[in-house]
């Protein structure tokens, strides 16, 4: 059975985001934000659902941003991946930890820690996403997003 490009893109982007950020977010919540393991389990459960809903839109956003910026150097690709994650993921992450029960200080620490993680993990995640897409026979960053038309 052959799957459409749209289906493969959804599955690849979703798997990449769920695998990569369940680990990264859980570590941040427990060891940076100081949340309890119970709070981490709740926030990661909520996060998993939200990641399924936002993974492909993030992939489209990242592809669009790469298309707009068109970085010509590895440094430009690094910065574009970092900016992409920072602008898209941090607001979603704050909502997740609030729903998970974080208090004011934990929210600020968690958001700051996650923002730093986006800067540190931006390019590694971008490369991981491109790798997972490649496993599905998809092109990496800059693939033309179907819903944006060009």
Q: How long a stretch of residues is the chain? A: 150
Among residues 53, 22, 7, which one has the least CA distance to residue 128? 22
Residue 41, pLDDT > 60, answer: yes
pLDDT of residue 77: 93
Residue 21, pLDDT > 70, answer: yes
Residue 68, pLDDT > 90, answer: yes
Percent of the chain residues past pLDDT 70, beyond the cut: 92
Residue 75, pLDDT > 80, answer: yes
Structural domain boundaries in the chain? 5-135
What is the CB neighbour count within 10 angstroms for residue 58? 22
Among residues 40, 38, 46, which one has the least CA distance to residue 92? 46
Indicate the pLDDT class of residue 1, thresholds 50, 70 and 90: low
List CB contacts of 15: < 8 A, sequence separation 6 or more: 132
Taking residues 57-71, report their average pLDDT.
Answer: 94
pLDDT of residue 140: 57
Inter-residue contact 109 to 34 (CB < 8 Å): yes
pLDDT of residue 67: 94
Q: What is the DSSP letter of 22?
A: H
């Amino acid at each position: 059975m052959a799957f459409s490009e749209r289906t493969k893109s959804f599955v690849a982007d979703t798997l990449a985001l769920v695998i990569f950020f369940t680990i990264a977010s859980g570590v941040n919540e427990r060891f940076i934000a100081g949340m309890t393991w119970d709070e981490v389990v709740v926030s990661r459960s909520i996060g998993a659902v939200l990641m399924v809903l936002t993974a492909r839109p993030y992939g489209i956003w990242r592809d669009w941003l790469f298309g707009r910026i068109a970085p010509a150097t590895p440094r430009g690709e690094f910065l574009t991946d970092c900016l992409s994650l920072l602008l898209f993921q941090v607001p979603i992450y704050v909502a997740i930890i609030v729903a998970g029960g974080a208090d004011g200080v934990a929210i600020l620490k968690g958001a700051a820690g996650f923002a730093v993680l986006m800067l540190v993990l931006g390019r590694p995640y971008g490369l991981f996403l491109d790798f997972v897409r490649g496993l599905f026979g998809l092109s990496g960053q800059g693939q033309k997003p179907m819903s944006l038309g060009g």
